[in-house]
Amino acid sequence: MMSRFLLTAGASLLLFGANPNPVSADPIHEALVGDALLNNQGYQLLKTITTRFGPRLAGSEGNARSMDLLELKLQDLGIETRRETYSIPGWIRRDDQVTLISPVGRTLRATAVGYVDPHDTFETGLAVIASLDFASLQAEEVRGKIGLAAPNLKFSQDDYQTLAKDFGLRGVLLINRVNGGQLLARVANHAGQPAPFPIFSITVEEGRWMERQLEDGLDVQVRIETLSGCSEIEVDNLVAVLPGTSDQTIVVGGHFDSWDLGQGAMDNGLGIAQIFDTARILKTHSARNVHTIEFVWFNAEEWGLWGSRDYVERHDLTKVRAMLNLDMVGRPIAINAMGFDELVPFLQTWSENLGAWDFREKVANKTWLGSDHHPFIMKGVPTITFSAPIDSDDVRYYHDFGDTFEKVDPGMLGRATALIALLTYDLANDTESGIRNYSPRETAQLFTKAGLDKRLKKAGKWPFEENEGSDL
């Protein structure tokens, strides 16, 4: 018992020792930090689900069994849970193959992207796509071929449709941006629309090899077989609740699903573990707070933020005081108010009270897209993310076979969980800050200020009036 007391005290000193006016006057802060660092139950949960069930592709058995176990663990802690079920445009991976048949025979390391559909096997030549300026393409030269796309090109569904309809391409091979035989699992689009032709991610090494073959004037021929396809499916969000005394709610969320080439340990097993352990720690040390806390594991984020999109449509967001999104949170070095100016003073004070863990980069205040915070911001809900990098030697395996459990650093996970638990507790008991929801006009201005308005409009995802956001 004495050794555990000394360890808890040591954990508290790590956090509060450098602060002349430490927040350790609140014993709950000390308990939250000590529990996160010393028990680290999220790490054990992540080990179990990745070892027993593998990846968590939306709609898969691994996804369902992992969520069942997570819910059972929460219920064993006495935490109330519920499922929220919804239908989405799903996708089922089957055996697909890309084969180089000339000038050298070789089965390529390739993976079909989400929302491609089955087709008859065919063989054809390749044509290089060097940029998204299709004016440089000659239809008569590329018609009937497969496009070999340079790394870092980000095609929209409209781009693929143009290549199919106007240029007669029969598919696209996307050269990955990271070397070492890696692939990048992704979807053809985020609207659940079937792709107009087969699209595959291929490695830098084999992609560049075929480019050199074309430059050498060789007759490069490939065979493509695609059996994967689209299918409407039902998936669940899992919600755990710690009831509060006010009518306001803090949402702590992150995506539950992963891609299926690895185990999804970092993306987003980290978030799964952090949300679970934050719920456990708060249930133990502060089960009743001013505001209700909903811990939400969103499904099908990788295919288009389907889970968070469903959540914001089915709930009264005027009751949501703030949303904290946890997507691949590694080693926190800063916190982001995501464009909500009223969050900045609260987060600035919170960061300054972290003692030895005080963030060097303090508070950022600029929004970004591409994760489950996005639907909440669209509705004007104040949203927070961490700037929390993962070691480059590990994060490079994002969306590929190397995203596996042994790369998760338990110390990194425990420290991040401690910070998340502290922030969640402080948000759930804040009654004095000026945090508030934004109107549609203010939200449009937030995106315009971040320089994201044109991108959202081009993608057809601008829900505001045409003139909203322009009067900055």
Which of 302, 298, 309 shows the shortest CA–CA distance to 261? 302
Going from the C-alpha of 308 to that of each of 251, 256, 331, the distances in angstroms are: 11, 11, 24
Q: Tell whether 215 and 268 lie within a shared domain.
A: no
Q: Tell whether 270 and 396 lie within a shared domain.
A: yes
Residue 23 has pLDDT above 60, yes or no: no
Q: Tell whether 172 and 43 lie within a shared domain.
A: no
pLDDT attached to residue 471 = 60
Residue 8 has pLDDT above 70, yes or no: no
Asked, for residue 303, whether it belongs to a domain, the answer is: yes
Q: Tell whether 354 and 380 lie within a shared domain.
A: yes
The mean pLDDT value of the chain amounts to 94
Top-confidence residue, 3 or 76: 76
Asked, for residue 465, whether it belongs to a domain, the answer is: no
Q: Tell whether 132 and 52 lie within a shared domain.
A: no
pLDDT attached to residue 7 = 47
Residue 22 has pLDDT above 50, yes or no: no
Q: Tell whether 289 and 160 lie within a shared domain.
A: no
Residue 347 has pLDDT above 80, yes or no: yes
Mean local confidence (pLDDT), 76-85: 99
Please, what is the Cα angle at 263 between 262 and 268, to 5 degrees? 110
Q: Tell whether 171 and 219 lie within a shared domain.
A: yes
| Cα–Cα distance, 19 to 425 (Å, whole number) | 20
pLDDT attached to residue 6 = 43
Q: Tell whether 100 and 38 lie within a shared domain.
A: no
Q: Tell whether 300 and 417 lie within a shared domain.
A: yes
Q: How confident is the model at residue 2 (pLDDT cuts 50, 70, 90)?
A: very low
Q: Tell whether 255 and 204 lie within a shared domain.
A: no
Q: What are the beta bridge partners of residue 114?
A: 187
pLDDT attached to residue 361 = 80
Cα pseudo-dihedral 78, 79, 85, 91, rounded to 10 = -90
Residue 351 has pLDDT above 70, yes or no: yes
pLDDT in tens, 296-338: 999 999 999 999 999 999 999 999 999 999 999 999 999 999 9
| Cα–Cα distance, 153 to 352 (Å, whole number) | 41
Residue 3 has pLDDT above 90, yes or no: no
Mean local confidence (pLDDT), 169-187: 97
Q: Tell whether 355 and 284 lie within a shared domain.
A: yes
Q: How confident is the model at residue 15 (pLDDT cuts 50, 70, 90)?
A: low
Q: How confident is the model at residue 460 (pLDDT cuts 50, 70, 90)?
A: confident
Please tell me the least confidently modeled range out of 49-63, 64-78, 457-471.
457-471
pLDDT attached to residue 20 = 46
| Cα–Cα distance, 254 to 279 (Å, whole number) | 13
Q: Please provide residue 411's backbone torsions phi and psi, each rounded to the nearest 5 degrees.
A: -65, -45
Asked, for residue 264, whether it belongs to a domain, the answer is: yes
What is the b/e burial string over 309-329, where b = at least 16 CB atoms within 10 angstroms of the residue's CB? bbbbeebebeebbbbbbbbbb
CATH of the domain at 185: 3.50.30.30
pLDDT attached to residue 5 = 42
Q: How confident is the model at residue 360 (pLDDT cuts 50, 70, 90)?
A: confident
CATH of the domain at 74: 3.40.630.10
Helices 41-53 and 269-285 cross at an angle (nearest 10°) of 140
pLDDT attached to residue 458 = 84
Asked, for residue 472, whether it belongs to a domain, the answer is: no
Structural domain ending residue among the three candidates 175, 199, 227: 227
Residue 102 has pLDDT above 70, yes or no: yes
Q: How confident is the model at residue 256 (pLDDT cuts 50, 70, 90)?
A: very high
Domain count, the chain: 2
Residue 34 has pLDDT above 80, yes or no: yes
Asked, for residue 446, whether it belongs to a domain, the answer is: no
Asked, for residue 448, whether it belongs to a domain, the answer is: no
pLDDT attached to residue 11 = 53
pLDDT attached to residue 14 = 53
Going from the C-alpha of 192 to that of each of 79, 91, 116, 157, 389, the distances in angstroms are: 34, 9, 10, 10, 30
pLDDT attached to residue 61 = 98
Which of 442, 430, 449 shows the shortest CA–CA distance to 468? 442
| Cα–Cα distance, 142 to 153 (Å, whole number) | 18
Mean local confidence (pLDDT), 158-174: 98
Residue 17 has pLDDT above 80, yes or no: no
pLDDT attached to residue 25 = 63
Q: Tell whether 55 and 168 lie within a shared domain.
A: no
pLDDT attached to residue 397 = 93
> What residue numbers bound the domain in which 431 lies?
2-89+234-438
Percent of residues, the chain, with pLDDT higher than 70: 94
The pTM assigned to this predicted structure is 0.94
Asked, for residue 444, whether it belongs to a domain, the answer is: no
Residue 94 has pLDDT above 70, yes or no: yes
Asked, for residue 462, whether it belongs to a domain, the answer is: no
